[in-house]
Amino acid sequence: MSLTSEQVLQALSAVNDPELGRDVVTLGMIKDLTVQGGKVRFTLELTTPACPVKEELKASCQQAVAALAGVESLTVELSARQRATRPALGSELAREVKNLLAVASGKGGVGKSTVASNLACALAAEGARVGLLDLDVYGPSIPALLGLKHGELAYHEDTQLVAPMEKFGLKIMSMGFLVPPGQSVIWRGPMLHGQVDFFFRKVHWGELDYLVVDLPPGTGDVQLSLSQLVPLGGAVVVSTPQDVALGVATKAINMFEKLKVPVLGLVENMSYYACPHCHQRDDVFGHGGARETASKLGVAFLGEIPLNSQVRQAGDEGAPVVVARPDSAAAQAFRACARLTAGRLSVAAVEGTDALKSNLLPVP
Ligand SMILES: Nc1ncnc2c1ncn2[C@@H]1O[C@H](COP(=O)(O)OP(=O)(O)O)[C@@H](O)[C@H]1O
Ligand SMILES: [Mg+2]
142 and 256 in a single domain? The answer is yes
Ligand 1: centre distance to CA 1 (Å)? 64
d(C-alpha 186, C-alpha 45), whole Å: 48
Quick check: is 159 in a domain?
yes
232 and 344 in a single domain? The answer is yes
32 and 177 in a single domain? The answer is no
170 and 123 in a single domain? The answer is yes
* Atom in ligand 1 nearest the alpha carbon of residue 313: 27
Q: Which ligand approaches the C-alpha of residue 312 most closely?
A: 1
* Atom 24, ligand 1: residue with shortest CA distance: 312
Quick check: is 85 in a domain?
no
The DSSP code sequence of 271-312 is: -SEE-TTT--EE-TT-SSHHHHHHHHHT--EEEEPPB-HHHH
**Which of the listed residues 132, 282, 312 should we mutate to test ligand 1's pocket, taking the one with most ligand atoms within 8 A of CB?**
312
pLDDT for res 247 = 85
242 and 272 in a single domain? The answer is yes
Ligand 1 pocket, Cβ-based, cut-off 6 angstroms: 105, 108-114, 141, 269-270, 305, 307-308, 311-312, 315
183 and 321 in a single domain? The answer is yes
Last residue of a domain, one of 80, 112, 143: 80
Quick check: is 274 in a domain?
yes
pLDDT for res 265 = 94
230 and 125 in a single domain? The answer is yes
Quick check: is 90 in a domain?
no
We report the CATH number of the domain holding residue 12 as 3.30.300.130
125 and 66 in a single domain? The answer is no
Ligand 1: centre distance to CA 269 (Å)? 8
Quick check: is 14 in a domain?
yes
Ligand 1: centre distance to CA 352 (Å)? 33
* Atom in ligand 1 nearest the alpha carbon of residue 316: 27
170 and 49 in a single domain? The answer is no
* Atom 5, ligand 1: residue with shortest CA distance: 312
20 and 129 in a single domain? The answer is no
Quick check: is 158 in a domain?
yes
110 and 250 in a single domain? The answer is yes
- Strands across the sheet containing 30-36: 30-36, 39-46, 73-80
Last residue of a domain, one of 80, 112, 134: 80
d(C-alpha 232, C-alpha 99), whole Å: 7
Ligand 1: centre distance to CA 307 (Å)? 9
State the pTM of this model. Answer: 0.91
319 neighbors 168 (Cβ within 8 angstroms): yes
* Atom in ligand 1 nearest the alpha carbon of residue 271: 1
Ligand 1: centre distance to CA 113 (Å)? 7
Per-residue pLDDT of the chain (364 residues; tens, 9 = 90+): 689 999 999 999 999 988 777 899 988 999 999 999 999 999 999 988 877 788 899 999 999 999 999 999 999 999 988 889 988 777 888 889 999 999 999 889 999 999 999 999 999 998 899 999 999 988 899 999 999 988 778 888 888 899 999 999 999 999 889 887 777 777 777 888 999 999 999 999 999 999 999 999 988 889 999 999 999 999 999 999 887 777 888 999 999 999 999 999 999 998 878 777 777 777 777 777 888 888 888 899 999 999 988 898 988 999 999 999 999 999 999 999 998 999 889 888 888 888 777 666 554 4
Q: Which ligand approaches the C-alpha of residue 139 most closely?
A: 2
73 and 181 in a single domain? The answer is no
Which among 263, 288, 142 has a CA at the least distance from the CA of 214?
142
d(C-alpha 351, C-alpha 47), whole Å: 12
Which among 254, 286, 256, 255 has a CA at the least distance from the CA of 270?
286
The DSSP code sequence of 227-258 is: HHHS---EEEEEE-HHHHHHTHHHHHHHHHHH
Quick check: is 150 in a domain?
yes
Into how many domains does the chain fold? 2
**How many C-beta atoms surround the C-beta of residue 303 within 10 A?**
26
Quick check: is 95 in a domain?
no
Ligand 1: centre distance to CA 357 (Å)? 29
Pairing relation of β-strands 73-80 and 30-36?
unpaired
* Atom 8, ligand 1: residue with shortest CA distance: 111
* Atom 15, ligand 1: residue with shortest CA distance: 111
Ligand 2: centre distance to CA 320 (Å)? 14
* Atom in ligand 1 nearest the alpha carbon of residue 139: 23
Residues with CB under 5 A from ligand 2 (ion): 112-113, 136, 141
* Atom in ligand 1 nearest the alpha carbon of residue 115: 17
pLDDT for res 201 = 94
Residue 10: which domain range? Answer: 5-80
4 neighbors 35 (Cβ within 8 angstroms): yes
We report the CATH number of the domain holding residue 304 as 3.40.50.300
